[in-house]
Amino acid sequence: MYGYIARRVVFGALTVIGVSIIVFVVMRILPGDPLVAVFGPEGYTKLTEQQRAGLMAELGLSDPLWLQYLHWARDVAQGNFGKSFFRSESVADMLLRRGPLTAEIALISVVLSWLVGIPVAIVSALRPNTIADSAARFLSILFLAVPGFWVGMLIVLALLFWFGYRAPMTGASLLGDPWANLQIVIGPAIVLGLGQAAYIARMGRSSLLEVIREDYVRTARAKGLNGRLVIALHALPNALLPVITLSGVLMGLVLAGSIPVERAFATPGLGFAMFIAVSERDIFVMQNLVFLYAIVFVLLNILIDLTIAFLDPRIRLR
């Protein structure tokens, strides 16, 4: 087990290094001059060559690319994520202020996806080709096909025009104001959770259909064990292993999907901050947020792999 953990940690570290290189290179090859983004086209033309060179040096963008990367990696290792071009707020302060909201949205959406997806998968697998199964598959395909941000916009417009309700526009902590915090995160969490539930329902259905045909399930039934106990104690635990693996991948969809969904709900989380940074071409904010998203995704997948290895000892021997 320790060898498996070591391999996964090393692989995750190499993945993080590779992602950091890709993120850094992509941010540097984007078209346009960062000074144009800061000062605008008219303001940029008023700068002298000396002023431009001084500003680029101050931003650390005049050094060779390999040196810029090393400086950035050093700063990230020290917890220094830089500052926004357009605001005095540092990226670290932004993470502390906006990060908890995005984390709450992700956590609630994952819990909701399991609460909705697993029962739907069980009903579909135990009653295949029935009206319930057809309805479950139709709804799963529907939520897979419909973009989350579009559903979010419909929810916002429906609440606004029919009930005159609008969620708070400013951030509220869970401990400071739980009710305001819930109003902020519940909309994006439901939209992202239903999208994930569709994936989990389809994967759970396929996995459970395969497991209930296994010999050990038939043997348990032949011994006279109650059908519900057979599903709960024998079939479902093994059928959930692929679903747990899928949940790790879906967390990446939550991180990426939170950007347009938070924008649709005007939720002041990291996804909304990423949207603003992209629209303003705020390089340092984009670069560090994308890298931090990648680190979270890698850590979650390592945790999922270790969980699967703990539940299924055969994984450790591969």
> What's the confidence (pLDDT) of residue 33?
62
d(CA 252, CA 260): 14
> What's the confidence (pLDDT) of residue 167?
63
d(CA 241, CA 210): 13
β-sheet bridge partners, residue 187: none
d(CA 124, CA 207): 11
d(CA 240, CA 263): 33
Domain ranges of the chain: 2-77, 91-317
> What's the confidence (pLDDT) of residue 31?
63
Instruction: Pick one of 3.40.190.10, 3.10.20.30, 1.10.3720.10, 3.30.360.10 as the CATH number of 91-317.
Output: 1.10.3720.10
d(CA 286, CA 37): 13
> What's the confidence (pLDDT) of residue 35?
64
**Parts of the chain with a pLDDT under 50:** none
β-sheet bridge partners, residue 83: 90
Assign 49 to helix, strand or coil. helix
β-sheet bridge partners, residue 90: 83
3-state secondary structure 131-190: HHHHHHHHHHHHHHHCCHHHHHHHHHHHHHHHHCCCCCCCCCCCCCCHHHHHHHHHHHHH
DSSP 8-state symbol, 266: T
> What's the confidence (pLDDT) of residue 288?
86
Please check whether residue 102 is in contact with residue 272, taking contact to mean a CB–CB distance below 8 angstroms. no
> What's the confidence (pLDDT) of residue 246?
83
